Amino acid sequence: MAPPRNVVKIAVQMPDAIPQLIQLDQAKPLAAVLKEVCDAWSLVHAGSYALQFADGHRRYITENDLEAERLLGGLQSGSRERRRETLQHLVSLAPDVTFAQEVISRDGLQRLGTIIEDGDDLGEVLTLALRAFLELMEHGMVSWETLSIPFVRKVVCYVNMNLMDAWVQPLALRLLESVTLSSPALGQLVKSEVPLDRLLVHLQVMNQQLQTKAMALLTALLQGASPTERKHMLDYLWQRNLRQFIYKNIIHSAAPLGDEMAHHLYVLQALTLGLLEPRMRTPLDPYSQEQREQLQALRQAAFESEGESLGSGLSADRRRSLCAREFRKLGFSNSNPAQDLERVPPGLLALDNMLYFSRHAPSAYSRFVLENSSREDKHECPFARSSIQLTVLLCELLRVGEPCSETAQDFSPMFFGQDQSFHELFCVSIQLLNKTWKEMRATQEDFDKVMQVVREQLARTLALKPSSLELFRTKVNALPYGEVLRLRQTERLHQEGTLAPPILELREKLKPELMGLIRQQRLLRLCEGTLFHKISSRRRQDKLWFCCLSPNHKVLQYGDVEEGASPPTLESLPEQLPVADIKALLTGKDCPHVREKGSGKQNKDLYELAFSVSYDHGEAEAYLNFIAPSKREFHLWTDGLSALLGSPMGSEQTRLDLEQLLTMETKLRLLELENVPIPEQPPPIPPPPTNFNFCYDCSIAES
């Protein structure tokens, strides 16, 4: 007879004692189990003992954790060697939530803080103390705002010191980043105590971990600053050649760029482009003398030769009439150009772009305006109208003014390879627009169609992440209107849905077989496993964990891994979750680890990548939470888990894969019918013959 499901056999061992093999009844109170184990070894005071996993993370099973008290006592030892060993043990156990709760409840953070503040040992002991402190704080049981000012200042001292252990400063920078993101008051203290020049020094050290943590603190300080302060800080950083250093020594470094550094470069790019938002949101003021002079300079650069005076020999009315006509030639819709620039966005940012183009590419500017002035009116490409719309388009593609995502990594290397990157990108794009206008032989009525093609050209090229502006120019000019049409037609054929009824019927018959193929692929992907990031509610973290499905599809195995390490083997993963115990699959805002987050735009991508599985853990319901590294991985895992639970696979990726397989299989089945028209209705069945007196006698051999 099989034992009950809640009874399992486990081995229990203790130093200097013979191991026991016991039948553990999971329904029995833990204290009773401990009493039985202690009685077998003739141990008294069973409440002084705890069960601990012997492998993996060596986590404790009991909530009454006296090991925490023993370790905290070791922190106060006068022996440096004992404190070092105690801290090593504490670091290994700190990820355990139960153990961390016991340590924190016994003032463990205060004792670690004392070691960090004293700074008696600036080597391994300080490194271990910082690691243990960070691990405990990451559980979110204690707010970063509770840290004392002297403690923060001491950590700042470690960041500002010249001669420091290579492991201490990355940990100190990581701690200050968390403080800055979580506490505005302490963030101001960090900003005032850590000079930007000091962070620049850390960035120039050829230590990738130190560079990453210094960049993390830098972006945290920029995010916490006011718009005015942020502009001054970025101006100073650019003056100190930070952009050139990032481009040459980080982006084009021999070592591969880590995910965390890619995220911080994305944040830095977004914050820098965000400086354009005030100009984008500000309409032109028709009463501003400076802005009127800028408009006149734009007109004069196109229509007046050097030294020529517009007003000589002309009356005021004649001069106004001439100016209005020239502004119309420039492509303004109104005789008063201020009315065109009252729209926000792009507001004054469009005027800035036009002025930049006229001053930094004067020959291209004059050629654009004069070339279109000589065309027929209906074939003119209006420079001003195009510039205004193109500025809006670039702001949308580069997400100017949008809040930073918590996980995005899609920065553009080209941005760090060029001063005034937004204006330079506009200069390339406006010339592309004129080229596309001519290729399409467009008229004024085709303006919106041209802008759609230009959007596609720019979006496709930006997606390639060119490393320089010149490479962007080369690639975007290699994507003419004809190539865009070809790509559109190819994509339309791949996604074609208007098919004849016989083909639709064939596709329906093929679907079950192909869905089985997709299901098999999803399960194989789960067996291969994936590295997932751990992301807290406060900030983006660099911790990784690995999860995979066992080959027999019965168990999910998972465990933490170090960054840069190869995927672990199944045998080395300490945690297991039987598929039979999984109750439901949750996605998006239904997941417990993102449910408490706000509903801002910055969290939208987090919702789209989050999923959880719920399972029974004793009498309570527990969750295994995931943040997928990409949208594709999200679809693959949610499909695979749905297949394991017997639910339909309804992701967008499944739909695309099924459509692709159906298209390929249908084309293969109909290969011999190429160029043969398929009727909408099946041909009529001919009437039966008048008699059935005919057959073929197979026994008669052919002569």
Its pTM stands at 0.66
What span, in angstroms and rounded, lies between the C-alpha atoms of 322 and 328?
10
The answer to whether 144 touches 538, Cβ cutoff 8 Å, is: yes
CA pair distance 556, 578, nearest whole angstrom: 6
**What's the pLDDT tens digit per position in 424-444?**
999 999 999 999 999 998 888
pLDDT, mean of each 10-residue run, the chain (703 residues):
70 86 77 84 80 70 60 76 86 83 86 83 84 90 90 91 81 93 91 92 88 93 92 93 90 87 94 93 90 89 58 67 83 83 89 94 90 76 92 94 88 90 95 93 90 95 93 94 85 55 84 94 92 68 82 91 81 88 88 69 72 85 88 92 91 90 85 74 85 70 51
- Under DSSP, the state recorded for 493 is H
CB atoms within 10 A of CB 451: 19
Cβ atoms of 638 and 631 closer than 8 Å: no
Chain-centroid distance, C-alpha 522: 23
Residue that the structure tokens 């650019």 belong to: 238
Separation in Å, CA 369 to CA 432, 437, 473, 510: 14, 14, 21, 58
Q: pLDDT value at position 359?
A: 92
Antiparallel, parallel or unpaired: β 530-535 and 20-25: unpaired
Cα distances (Å, whole numbers) of residue 180 to 32, 155, 194: 47, 13, 12
Check residue 314 and give its pLDDT: 63
Q: Where are the domains of the chain?
A: 7-49, 62-142, 143-240, 283-304+318-491, 512-657
List % helix, strand, coil for the chain (3-state, nearest 5).
60, 10, 35
| Helix H or strand E segment including 12 | strand 7-12
Spatial CB neighbours of 417, under 8 Å, sequence gap ≥ 6: 247, 467, 468, 469
530, 645, 662, 664 from 657: Cα distances, Å: 20, 21, 8, 11
- In CATH terms, 512-657 corresponds, of 3.20.20.70, 2.30.29.30, 2.40.50.100, 2.60.40.680, to 2.30.29.30
Task: Measure Cα distances from 406 to 181, 517, 537 in Å.
Answer: 12, 35, 10
Burial (0-12, 13-18, 19+ Cβ within 10 Å), 266: buried
* Both structure tokens of 622: 């527990």
pLDDT score for 494: 47
Structure tokens of 146? Answer: 């509770």
User: In the prediction, which pLDDT does 406 show?
Assistant: 86
Q: Which residue has the tokens 């018959």?
A: 509
Residue 117 · residue 154 · CB < 8 Å: yes
- Which residue has tokens 């405990």? 136
pLDDT at residue 447, rounded to an integer? 92
Whole-number Å distance between alpha carbons of 107 and 126: 18
- b (16+ CB within 10 A) / e for 152-176: bebbbebbeeeebbebbbbbbbbbb
**Rg value, the chain, Cα:** 34
**In the prediction, which pLDDT does 703 show?**
47
Give the DSSP H or E segment for 658.
helix 652-669
Q: Output 150-157 pairs: Cβ under 8 A, ≥24 positions apart.
A: 150/117, 151/113, 151/116, 151/117, 152/176, 152/179, 152/186, 152/189, 152/190, 152/193, 153/189, 153/193, 154/116, 154/117, 154/119, 155/116, 156/189, 156/190, 156/193, 156/194, 157/119
